[in-house]
């Protein structure tokens, strides 16, 4: 580590020497950026085309950039205004003054997100997730939370679980790709998450890297009217970085705690002279350890994107994300009895010969064609491939038994999984956007068709070693029954001998060594091939009359699942649903919109989409509905947005663990759950050099109908009633501290119940994070310190045998070079 740090500081020293030498010949280009009325526009981006040089105007609209002699083009842009270009000539020994005026942008928004976002702020003005066309977030009658790439970079985060801490009402369920939104679970294996608005799967065991993402966003509440079956809490959309029509290149290298080494690259710009072909390439490499015993992550990410602008009316985009991951699967921390602090949070039940190798690709091809100013057609096809190769020692979700059948609280019953499987997901989406006026009414109509399918082909298989050895040591018995003790092989104490040695929580080093499993009894576990597909059609109209906007939509979805797929008893089963969506938006003032909405959700629960061969069933589909009211506002010349909302969500037929001793994966349905809450979000800049993001959520999510009366009124699992977050960054732009920046933030998550045993809980926590930045022209040095108070906490868990602890105090040092 010392050698790595020394190399970085030598590179910094050489860079600074070069910069100082160049500065001797540089001249200052400065001026003021004004709006149509002649008022200054603070926070405007002034970029030098063909370079990575850029700056932002101060409170009085002033900017200043140092350039060497030559001819340049300044590109000036600000949200809500048409960008402007000015050619300038810089002569040696002479500074340049160039004032620029911007006019309001009245041009139509993108129909499909094909070209990238140029702004470099936390705030995003528009989103595509709510209406399948670029829509001002203020005009959307539903709550949206998001994190831009600038926020992610400032916080030094590269995992979705770290990103969502910024969102109101969103927190981790486990430390897998597994979240809770407004009290309802959504994860990467469920095929209800989106990438660029298309359904996909990101795996489950490992959170994907975010270096190739423009932003992560969550549309709160059921999104079935536009996207099909999804969690009633909301849908997560990962938006990949798109090509820009200006050249930008960036390299970064990070070193940090737990032997973390990370290298990232981002290149974009025109690929030909007329800029009809644009490219973007994001690369990522990670070799990181963990505060958890025996855990590591080695990732390679390759994410190219191409945009072909065939004409003013036709654009084609190609995106691919490829991720190769080598790691171990971490099933969590086990404690002795009910004492959360009886074992170290670093304790993982893995062994040195465990491994998890995963490969994932997501390929997307999209087309946008404008027939005229009012009518356009959009089509996109996405293909996801996932491959898993797993060998793991993990808990059997129980403690070992003594001869009387009692738990031995320091010994965790163990099992071994050896599994290989593949999954393929296809999504085809085609829709028309039609804008038309009928008298005083303005219509934005979306009408489309969706096809989606998921398949696990033949060849998926698993070997499982578990249970207790029989008396003749020739096989196993799944569970121990004291009344039949003579049927079991017993040790010197008379206790049953497990098929896989138990994990001793008081002697973890011995249990974590390489294990010889050659004498264990393995049995094949059925991973039958699965296949389902869906067809859906939808239509939606957003009608504007003066200050009032009415949104009304309906979707019909027809779902086909193959029971006993590819066997002699294969049977097609069908289900269908009509899914309405209604919303109202009223512009109360220039800065404030108020809204209300009602949406319904639907999600089949079949063997294909549960991806759990031992879950049981058949199960009735999940049905849900949401009522939401809120207000959205913008301030400080649209630099800062504030959103507040209140909601109620009801869901029927949720699946919970059945707590069956013979089948720990068996599920059961609960009658009804209800979540009521309040959310508050602030995003943007108070001043051009002062950015902020803050949120608060209160969520009362309870089980209100159940056959088990003990569960009535209990808070839903891993759903805290209160969460809060704040992050702010301040840049010094004058005086001796010019070039320095400071960031500080805090995250609060309240007490939560666990999912298998709702009477077990994990405590609340408050984390404090900080960062420091120093930029000199093209080079930035960044230091992030997380959980600086060293708080012990858990991000989620199933029970006290599977707890998911959060990271202790840690740091990350990042060097970034723009060229």
At 321-373, the pLDDT tens digits run: 999 999 999 999 999 999 999 999 999 999 999 999 999 999 999 999 999 98
CB 486 within 8 A of CB 468: no
Give the pLDDT of residue 19. 46
Give the pLDDT of residue 423. 93
Q: Name the band, by pLDDT with cuts 50, 70 and 90, for residue 59.
A: confident
Mean pLDDT across the stretch 777-806?
Answer: 96
The percentage of the chain sitting over the pLDDT mark of 90, rounded to a whole number, equals: 67
Quick one: DSSP state of residue 434?
A: E
Give the pLDDT of residue 57. 84
Q: How far apart are CA 57 and CA 754, in angstroms?
A: 49
CA-to-CA dists, residue 203 to 279, 324, 421, 751, angstroms: 27, 12, 12, 28
CA-to-CA dists, residue 679 to 216, 430, 550, 697, 770, angstroms: 18, 34, 23, 4, 25
Give the pLDDT of residue 641. 95
Give the pLDDT of residue 191. 58
Q: Name the band, by pLDDT with cuts 50, 70 and 90, for residue 601.
A: confident
Q: How far apart are CA 176 and CA 423, in angstroms?
A: 18
Mean pLDDT across the stretch 665-693?
Answer: 90
CB 479 within 8 A of CB 487: no
Q: What's the length of the chain?
A: 819
Query: Could you tell me where in the chain the CATH 2.60.40.1120 domains are found?
Result: 2-101
Q: How far apart are CA 105 and CA 108, in angstroms?
A: 9
Taken in order 654, 574, 379, 553, the sign of the CA dihedral is negative
Mean pLDDT across the stretch 773-783?
Answer: 95
Least confident of 38-47, 71-80, 611-620, 662-671: 611-620
List CB contacts of 305: < 8 A, sequence separation 6 or more: 240, 241, 242, 243, 279, 280, 281, 317, 318, 319, 320
Provide the mean pLDDT of the chain.
89
Least confident of 70-84, 297-311, 555-569, 786-800: 70-84
Nearest CA among 809, 806, 802, 661 for reference residue 350: 802
Please identify which residue in the block is written with the tokens 């999912």.
Answer: 755
Mean pLDDT across the stretch 172-187?
Answer: 90
Q: How far apart are CA 294 and CA 327, in angstroms?
A: 10
Tens digit of each residue's pLDDT (9 = 90 or more) over 524-563: 987 889 999 999 999 999 999 999 999 999 999 998 989 8
Q: Is the pLDDT of residue 712 over 70?
A: yes
Tens digit of each residue's pLDDT (9 = 90 or more) over 368-397: 999 998 999 999 999 999 999 999 999 999
Q: Name the band, by pLDDT with cuts 50, 70 and 90, for residue 685.
A: very high
CB 263 within 8 A of CB 817: no
Which residues sit opposite 600 in a β-bridge?
625
Give the pLDDT of residue 780. 96
CA-to-CA dists, residue 329 to 15, 196, 420, 793, angstroms: 41, 28, 14, 20
Give the pLDDT of residue 582. 95
Q: How far apart are CA 813 and CA 253, in angstroms?
A: 8
The percentage of the chain sitting over the pLDDT mark of 70, rounded to a whole number, equals: 92
Peptide bond into 538 cis (omega under 30): no
Give the pLDDT of residue 664. 67
Give the pLDDT of residue 52. 73
H/E element, 150 = helix 149-155
Nearest CA among 605, 133, 194, 233 for reference residue 425: 194
List CB contacts of 200: < 8 A, sequence separation 6 or more: 191, 193, 194, 362, 382, 384, 425, 427
CATH topology for 239-462+525-818?
Answer: Maltoporin; Chain A (2.40.170)
Please identify which residue in the block is written with the tokens 């491994």.
Answer: 355
Tens digit of each residue's pLDDT (9 = 90 or more) over 242-282: 998 889 999 999 999 999 999 999 999 999 988 899 999 99
CA-to-CA dists, residue 324 to 163, 300, 305, 386, angstroms: 21, 5, 18, 10
Q: How far apart are CA 421 and CA 358, in angstroms?
A: 10
CA-to-CA dists, residue 777 to 56, 324, 701, 817, angstroms: 13, 34, 49, 9
Query: Could you tell me where in the chain the CATH 2.40.170.20 domains are found?
Result: 239-462+525-818
**Which regions of 149-204 does DSSP assign to beta strands (E)?**
170-172, 178-181, 184-187, 193-195, 198-200
CA-to-CA dists, residue 582 to 224, 579, 598, 599, 629, angstroms: 12, 10, 5, 6, 12
Highest mean pLDDT among 120-124, 178-182, 769-773: 769-773
Give the pLDDT of residue 113. 64
List CB contacts of 380: < 8 A, sequence separation 6 or more: 112, 196, 197, 198, 364, 365, 366, 367, 427, 428, 429, 430
Which residues sit opposite 772 in a β-bridge?
742, 783
Give the pLDDT of residue 16. 46
Highest mean pLDDT among 159-163, 197-201, 808-812: 808-812
Give the pLDDT of residue 189. 67
Asked if CATH classification 3.40.50.12590 holds for the domain at 2-101, the reply, yes or no, is no
At CA 576, angle to CA 196 and CA 226, rounded to 5?
Answer: 25
CA-to-CA dists, residue 384 to 241, 360, 378, angstroms: 18, 7, 20
């Amino acid at each position: 580590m010392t050698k790595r740090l020394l190399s970085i500081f030598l590179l910094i020293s050489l860079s600074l020497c070069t910069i100082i030498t160049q500065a001797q010949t540089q001249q200052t280009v400065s001026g003021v950026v004004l709006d149509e009325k002649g008022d200054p526009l603070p926070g405007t981006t002034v970029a030098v085309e063909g370079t990575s040089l850029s700056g932002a105007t101060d409170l009085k609209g002033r900017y200043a950039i140092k350039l060497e002699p030559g001819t340049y083009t300044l590109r000036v842009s600000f949200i809500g205004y048409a960008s402007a270009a000015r050619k300038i000539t810089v002569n040696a020994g002479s500074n340049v003054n160039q004032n620029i005026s911007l006019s309001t942008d009245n041009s139509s928004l993108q129909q499909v997100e094909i070209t990238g976002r140029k702004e470099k702020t936390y705030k995003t003005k528009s989103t595509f997730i709510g209406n399948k066309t670029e829509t001002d977030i203020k005009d959307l009658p539903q709550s949206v939370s998001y994190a831009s790439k600038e926020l992610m970079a400032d916080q030094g985060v590269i995992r979705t679980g770290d990103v969502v801490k910024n969102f109101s009402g969103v927190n981790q369920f486990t430390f897998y790709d597994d979240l809770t939104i407004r009290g309802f679970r959504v994860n990467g294996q469920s095929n209800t998450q989106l990438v660029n608005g298309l359904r996909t799967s990101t795996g489950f065991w490992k959170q994907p890297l975010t270096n190739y993402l423009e932003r992560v966003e969550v549309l709160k509440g059921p999104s079935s009217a536009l996207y099909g079956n999804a969690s009633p809490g909301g849908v997560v959309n990962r938006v990949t970085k798109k090509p820009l029509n200006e050249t930008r290149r960036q390299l970064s290298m990070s070193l940090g705690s737990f032997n973390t080494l990370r290298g990232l690259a981002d290149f974009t710009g025109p690929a030909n002279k007329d800029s009809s072909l644009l490219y973007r390439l994001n690369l990522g490499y990670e070799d990181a350890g963990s505060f958890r015993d025996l855990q590591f992550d080695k990732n390679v990410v390759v994410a190219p994107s191409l945009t072909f602008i065939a004409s003013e009316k036709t654009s084609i985009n190609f995106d691919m994300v490829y991720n190769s991951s080598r790691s171990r699967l971490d099933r969590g921390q086990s404690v002795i009895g009910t004492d959360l602090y009886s074992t170290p949070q670093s304790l993982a039940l893995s062994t040195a010969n465990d491994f998890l190798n995963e490969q994932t690709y997501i390929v997307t091809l999209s087309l946008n064609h404008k027939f005229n100013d009012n009518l356009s057609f959009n089509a996109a096809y996405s293909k996801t491939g996932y491959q898993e190769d797993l060998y793991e020692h993990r808990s059997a979700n129980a403690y070992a038994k003594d001869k009387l059948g009692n738990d031995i609280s320091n010994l965790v019953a163990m099992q071994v999984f050896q599994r290989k499987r593949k999954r393929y997901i296809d999504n085809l989406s085609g829709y028309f956007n039609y804008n038309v006026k009928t008298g005083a009414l303005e219509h934005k109509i979306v009408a489309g068709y969706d096809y989606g399918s998921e398949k696990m082909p033949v060849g998926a298989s698993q070997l499982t070693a578990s249970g207790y050895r029989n008396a003749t040591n020739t096989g196993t018995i799944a569970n121990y029954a004291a009344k039949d003790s003579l049927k079991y092989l017993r040790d010197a104490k008379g206790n049953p001998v497990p098929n896989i040695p138990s994990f001793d929580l008081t002697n973890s080093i011995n249990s974590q060594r390489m294990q010889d499993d050659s004498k264990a009894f393995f049995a094949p576990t059925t991973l039958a091939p699965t296949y389902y597909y869906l067809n859906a059609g939808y239509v939606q109209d957003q009608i504007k009359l003066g200050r009032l906007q009415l949104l009304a939509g309906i979707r019909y979805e027809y779902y086909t699942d193959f029971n006993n797929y590819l066997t002699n008893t294969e049977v097609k089963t069908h289900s269908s649903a009509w899914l309405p969506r209604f919303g109202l938006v009223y512009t109360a003032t220039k800065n404030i919109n108020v809204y209300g909405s009602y949406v319904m959700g639907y999600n089949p629960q079949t063997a294909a989409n549960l991806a759990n061969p031992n879950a049981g069933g058949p199960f009735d589909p999940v049905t849900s509905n949401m009522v939401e009211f809120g207000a959205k506002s913008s301030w400080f010349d649209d630099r800062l947005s504030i959103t507040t909302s209140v909601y109620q969500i009801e869901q029927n037929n949720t699946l919970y663990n059945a707590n069956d001793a013979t089948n720990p994966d068996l599920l059961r349905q609960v009658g009804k759950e209800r979540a009521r809450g309040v959310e508050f979000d602030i995003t943007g800049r108070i001043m051009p050099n002062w950015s902020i993001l803050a949120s608060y959520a209160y969520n009362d999510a309870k089980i209100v109908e159940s056959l088990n009366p003990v569960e009535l009124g209990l808070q839903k699992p891993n759903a805290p009633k209160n969460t809060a977050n704040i992050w702010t960054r301040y840049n010094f732009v004058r005086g001796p501290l010019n070039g320095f920046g400071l960031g500080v933030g805090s995250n609060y998550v309240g007490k939560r119940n666990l999912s298998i045993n709702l009477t077990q809980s994990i405590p609340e926590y408050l984390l404090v994070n900080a960062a420091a930045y120093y930029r000199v022209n093209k080079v930035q040095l960044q230091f992030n310190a997380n959980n600086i108070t060293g708080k012990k906490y858990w991000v989620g868990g199933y029970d006290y045998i599977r707890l998911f602890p959060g990271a202790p105090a840690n740091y990350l040092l990042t060097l970034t070079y723009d060229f």
